[in-house]
Amino acid sequence: MTRQTSAPDLPVTHDAEVDQLFSAGGSLSLAIPGFHPRQSQIDMARAIADAISRQGTLLAEAGTGTGKTFAYLVPALLWGGKVIISTGTKNLQDQLFLHDIPVVRKALNVPVSVALLKGRANYVCHFHLDRTQQNGRMTAREDVGYLREISRFMKTTSTGDKAELSKVPENALIWNLVTSTRDTCLGAECAHYQDCFVMKARKEAQQADVVVVNHHLFFADVALKDTGVAELLPAANTVIFDEAHQLPDTATLFFGETVSTSQIMELCRDVLAEGLTHARDGADWAQVVTTVEKAARDLRLAFPSEGMRLAQDQIAESSPFFPALEHLKVMLQQMTETLAGQAERAETIELCRVRAIELAMQLANWTAADSKTQTDVAAKVRWSEAFSASLQLHQTPLSVAPIFSKQREGPPRSWIFTSATLAVKNDFSHYSEQLGLGGEPALTWPSPFDYAQQALLYVPTDLPQPNSPSYTDAVIDAALPVIEAAGGRAFVLCTTLRAVKRAAERLREEFAQRQHPWPLLVQGELGRTELLAQFRRAGNAVLIGSQSFWEGVDVRGDALSVVIIDKLPFAPPDDPVLAARVAEMEKRGLNGFMDHQLPEAIINLKQGAGRLIRDESDRGVLMICDPRLISKPYGKRIWQSLPPFARTRELAAVQQFLQASEAIVSPESEPR
């Protein structure tokens, strides 16, 4: 795709109205405390209004602080017709629905109706709640109390959305027992169908002018037709993807297919419960499920250790894996036949039979000799991933562009893709090619923040290569004086969970020895939301996290003054999908590293770096420890894609910056 760094001539259709709305005396500033005009926000809103008016597509990269949410909401609410807004996370979904849209709607005084639509696992299911209360199949001790809270909640809620019940943690195991999945939903056969919260949410979405979904929901629907978006999309005039940089990964996840031994074990638990409840005399249910469970466990044990990821053609022919897989198929078939003989006795037994057939088909597809064309075969990679107690078998498309392009066919509508990180040095070609958006207009609006004054990029000297066994220890040695100069108030962002664990061990030891009072918060020891809440409350904490803290985290003010990144976030070299994609690109004469791995790493790094400066008054240090940023020829391309930080390699300059209120190094000077 042609690089675009300046806006094309835009029609004047809505320019004057946009200018007036965002002006100092306009509707937004009169209605929203603290609102003030930002030229980049006005320009972005104009471009989106233009894309909506011509039913076109726009890729819109807006630097942190541009105010992209209002920039797309204003034209969407005024001129977008039926609008679907898809966000990166459920948290952002709630933020839009509960805060941002009501604020803009009130400021504009427009009578648009808004609905929130989530995946079915977010809504309490009357049928599964009743069943859990009756049979008491609890998976954890605290579930009894949680179940009581959910029962109380059901008497007062109008939505059934579990996000409204803060007394039960979002990751509590009880939710699996009181919500439905596509496989366990009885649909119109359910006695509670008229009261079903999932159906109510879908009906509201059908009737609303603006519907807020998330990427997982959007693509799950495209793949499974199970979320209600399928009915919404034909009527939509405008589709807006916020946090659009996540789309290629999310689409890859849902346009692929995964079957796991965990799904089979879960089916076995349900078969046992339903068989004993409705057809106790129909079979020796314990024996029926035990043979399948053992076969599933044996398949997992065919992989010697957890964390292994192998493409299908990397699994040795002599491995016990293939015989174990064939045996599991036979045992699953026998259980399916038993279920078929008893299916008339209860709808839930029939549901188990259908699930068993679907799982058997997925297992068969994973090993079947392809009868498709060679092009189709080349478009997917089959691979396996072992966890401590389960094995997943994946079929992943090498490119989602053809599938996603097909979804965008049909009646004309506008498609807006926006994020702070879509381009590499203003070049959108990598992102465009991933989604089949080549040739579509793409614009960048830089952040209004003064990075040269507000922030410092620090690359320490004398660190070993990232593949060194002692690399994480060296990172902590270099980071400690920076953390001490900041008085805590730091994020340590790691590229692997192993590095998180080692960094936590080291910092615990160092803080104890040096008697530092700063709270140490570590990913995995608490939920993400609680860790962030504690970090903000403490004001001087150090938080260590991996990928889930690289984006979607907003800590403003003095609580966060340093972001330390251990390595450039290249995808792991053992990733079978990456290896297959690189091989495919190189067949076409492209460079897998420069054309795929490097742009991916840059976009990820921009997300991590974006945690530092969140407000016009924020100041801080971004410390990137990886020596490749300086030593490799591609390093320049990486740091030139970041905001224009002042830069240094001197620890003293960092300490001085953190203690003083002036910038140290000119942003024009290159790191040495």
Q: What is the 3-state secondary structure (H, E, C) of 584-626?
A: HHHHCCCCHHHHHHHHHHHHHHHHHHCCCCCCCCCCEEEEECC
Give the pLDDT of residue 463.
Answer: 95
Least Cα distance to 1 among 302, 608, 416, 426 occurs for 426
Distance, CA of 643 to CA of 614 (rounded, Å): 13
Give every residue of the chain whose pLDDT is below 50, as ranges: 1-12, 371-378, 661-672
For residue 170, what pLDDT is reported?
A: 79
The residues, any chain, with a CB within 8 Å of residue 422's CB and separated by 6 or more, are 59, 60, 61, 244, 245, 428, 431, 442, 603
**In whole angstroms, what is the distance from residue 104 CA to residue 98 CA?**
11
Which token pair is 239? 């589709």
- The number of angstroms, rounded, from the C-alpha of 71 to the middle of its chain's C-alpha atoms is 23
**pLDDT at residue 140 in the model:** 72
- Of 273, 533, 667, 566, nearest to 521 by C-alpha is 533
Rounded to whole angstroms, the Cα distance separating 286 from 621 reads 60
Q: What is the predicted pLDDT for the residue at 375? A: 42
- What pLDDT is recorded for position 223? 62
Strands 620-624 and 455-458 come out as: parallel
3-state secondary structure 369-385: CCCCCHHHHHCEEEEEE
Nearest to 564 by CA among 515, 535, 523, 605: 605
Question: What pLDDT sits at residue 192?
Answer: 92
The answer for residues whose C-beta is within 8 angstroms of residue 430's C-beta and 6 or more apart is: 424, 595, 596, 599, 600, 603
**Cα(420)–Cα(238) distance, integer angstroms:** 20
Distance CA 73, CA 99 (A): 12
CA distance 530 to 287: 43
Residue 361 has what pLDDT? 94
What order do you get walking across the sheet with 210-214 strand by strand?
Answer: 114-116, 210-214, 83-87, 238-241, 414-419, 57-62, 442-445
For residues 561 and 621, the answer to whether their CB atoms sit within 8 Å is: yes
Place of tokens 């007062």: 156
For residue 95, the SS3 value is helix
For residues 141 and 160, give the distance between their C-alpha atoms in angstroms, rounded to a whole number.
Answer: 24
- Beta pairing class for 380-386 and 309-311: antiparallel
Q: Is 374 exposed, middle or buried (0-12, 13-18, 19+ CB in 10 A)?
A: exposed
Q: What are phi and psi of 401, to 5 degrees?
A: -55, -50
**Digit-coded pLDDT (tens) for 243-279:** 999 999 998 888 888 999 999 999 999 999 999 999 9
Contacts of 174 (CB under 8 A, 6+ apart): 132, 138, 139, 140, 143, 146, 147, 150, 168
Q: Given CA atoms 38, 39, 45, 49 in this order, what sign does their dihedral have?
A: positive
| 0.95 surpassed by pTM | no
Q: What is the CA radius of gyration of the chain?
A: 27
- What is the pLDDT at residue 371? 41
Q: What is the spatial order of strands in the sheet that 257-260 belongs to?
A: 257-260, 391-397, 380-386, 309-311
The pLDDT of residue 230: 64
**How crowded is the C-beta side of 667, counted as CA atoms within 13 Å?**
15
The pLDDT, as a whole number, for residue 323 is 95
Contact 28/21 with Cβ under 8 angstroms? yes
SS3 track for 418-434: EECCCCECCECHHHHHH
Rounded to an integer, what distance in angstroms lies between the CA atom of residue 164 and that of residue 123?
10
